Structure 1
Amino acid sequence: MLRLHYNLERVSMGLVAAIIVAASIGGLVEIAPLFTIDETLEAPADLRPHTPLELAGREIYIREGCYACHSQMVRTLADEIDRYGPYSLAAESAYDHPMLWGSKRTGPDLARIGEKYSDAWHAAHLVNPRAVVPASIMPAYPWLAATPLETSSLSAQMATLARLGVPYSRERIANAAQDALAQARPDSAGATGVAERYGARVAVRPFGGDPTRLTEMDAVVAYLQSLGRLTTAAHDPH
């Protein structure tokens, strides 16, 4: 076997061909199952899509590169379950485009972060991480609290996701900007509409702390508070 490998190394084109064959087999094994994912992955009955405000927060989360340091995938290892909670199910991410499972753990996994900390904690952490976690190496994002949230493109984003199978109805799409604002203003006339369109479990409150302004902080905190709370499937013992 070693002699075969040695002879193959002496023939550069043969070695290149062998590498291509090996890589192709590995790629086929990983990629082929994705073509049947629609047949094998069934969304939980109680899974809801992100609200417009949470969706905007998710886009900011991706824009700022948060996914590069935080995974959203609790593995089936005992120590991970003890630390983070129930292991992640593929079905929980049925409406995620792109999915953010990942494997990078510079910071803790965020799959079950929803409602673990208060909105004020998240806002303070994003403005100055070391104010609440002295040993943190996370960069600060103070501009989120000062930047008004842009909502004009939310309907178009949701319409695109609807084409990919996310259950955003015409009514949800048409009311995207209004619902994003209303979710952060519980006393507004549109707050009831958010609950009607996305369910009573959706949190409606001033996530960034100031109900008179809708900022990117509201959106990011709303998104973080939704993680692990879009379905109860992972907590179902059956």
Structure 2
Amino acid sequence: MFRTHYKLERYSIGLALAIIVVASIGGLVEIAPLFTIHQTVESAPGMRVYTPLELAGRNIYIREGCYACHSQMIRTLRDEVERYGPYSLAVESQYDHPMLWGSKRTGPDLARVGGKYTDQWQAAHLNNPRDVVPVSIMPAYPFLKSTPLRTDDLPEHLATLKKLGVPYTDEMIKNAVSDAYDQANPDSGDADGVKSRYGEATNIRAFDGNPQSLTEMDALVAYLQILGHLTDAAYQQEEAAGEKK
């Protein structure tokens, strides 16, 4: 084996060509599927986008490194589907920049955690995981409830995502700051505006339990509570598969 390698090293041009051929094969395997991406991503006409508050929560989720211990990708394995729900579809992450798929799980997968627990449970878990899961090794995030949520940059964030293909409207961008406040304060008087822009099923409530302030806890809980509910495409596919059987 080494003799063959030594011979290749003697002929630099041949070695360079061999490297190019091997690299081209790898590149082809990676790039070719992108030309058929429209056939790979499922259709979900009713899929909605993240609200400004949920998007802010997603940013906090990434900032705190939650993705390092929690995947958002349910594989087609039977035990995963039985534990977490329908396996993940590509369309469910089409508006995610960056997407948070993966297979590293120090904690459970969160792809469909939305609605599984109450807001109070989620807030208590984030404040001190051991209060609700005694054996948890997750770090505590008590500062989230006392840290005011930054909202001034939300219009720019939505505008940037719009350039990347996320269908935010000019009205959504214009009202991003007020929508973040109104979603976490059902008594604000403008909550109906949030629903008109993002759908009647949008969660409108004080996620951290205090409607008088907007905190990072509000945003992160709002994000966790929408995971798996931007579209019901996966559940529809599961039902269709069951009917065929």
Q: TM-score, with normalisation over the residues of structure 1?
A: 0.91
Q: Report the Cα distance in structure 2 between the residues aligned to 1:9 and 1:210, rounded to whole angstroms.
A: 71
In structure 2, the residue matched to 1:89 is 89
Give the secondary structure class of the aligned counterpart of 2:138.
coil
Query: 1:8·1:15 contact (CA, 8 Å) conserved in 2?
Result: no
Q: Report the Cα distance in structure 2 between the residues aligned to 1:66 and 1:20, rounded to whole angstroms.
A: 39
Query: 1:43·1:92 contact (CA, 8 Å) conserved in 2?
Result: no
Q: Report the Cα distance in structure 1 between the residues aligned to 2:67 and 2:15, rounded to whole angstroms.
A: 36
Query: 2:42·2:89 contact (CA, 8 Å) conserved in 1?
Result: no
Structure 1 residue 7: Cα displacement: 1.5
Deviates more, 1:148-157 or 1:94-103: 94-103
Q: Report the Cα distance in structure 2 between the residues aligned to 1:224 and 1:6, rounded to whole angstroms.
A: 58
Query: 2:73·2:109 contact (CA, 8 Å) conserved in 1?
Result: yes
In structure 2, the residue matched to 1:137 is 137
Q: Partner amino acid for 1:131?
A: D
Query: 2:73·2:111 contact (CA, 8 Å) conserved in 1?
Result: yes
Q: Report the Cα distance in structure 2 between the residues aligned to 1:124 and 1:52, rounded to whole angstroms.
A: 23
In structure 1, the residue matched to 2:68 is 68
Q: Using a 3 Å threshold, how does the CA distance of structure 1 residues 170 and 138 change in structure 2: closer, same or farther?
A: same
Q: Percent identity?
A: 65
Q: Report the Cα distance in structure 1 between the residues aligned to 2:212 and 2:3, rounded to whole angstroms.
A: 72
In structure 2, the residue matched to 1:8 is 5
Q: TM-score, with normalisation over the residues of structure 2?
A: 0.89
Q: Partner amino acid for 1:7?
A: T
Q: Report the Cα distance in structure 2 between the residues aligned to 1:18 and 1:141, rounded to whole angstroms.
A: 52
Q: Report the Cα distance in structure 2 between the residues aligned to 1:155 and 1:139, rounded to whole angstroms.
A: 31
In structure 1, the residue matched to 2:119 is 119
Is 2:222 the counterpart of 1:207?
no
Q: Using a 3 Å threshold, how does the CA distance of structure 1 residues 47 and 161 change in structure 2: closer, same or farther?
A: same
Runs of 4+ in 1 over 4 A off after TM superposition: 9-21
In structure 1, the residue matched to 2:243 is none
Structure 2 gap ranges (5+): 241-245
How many residues end up aligned between the 2 structures?
A: 235
In structure 2, the residue matched to 1:228 is 228
Structure 1 gap ranges (5+): none
Q: Report the Cα distance in structure 2 between the residues aligned to 1:46 and 1:86, rounded to whole angstroms.
A: 18
Query: 2:42·2:90 contact (CA, 8 Å) conserved in 1?
Result: no
Question: RMSD between aligned alpha carbons?
Answer: 2.0
Deviations, residues 95-145 of structure 1 (Å, cap 9, x unaligned) = 111111112111111000000001111111111111111111111111111
Give the secondary structure class of the aligned counterpart of 1:206.
coil
Q: Report the Cα distance in structure 1 between the residues aligned to 2:44 and 2:120, rounded to whole angstroms.
A: 31
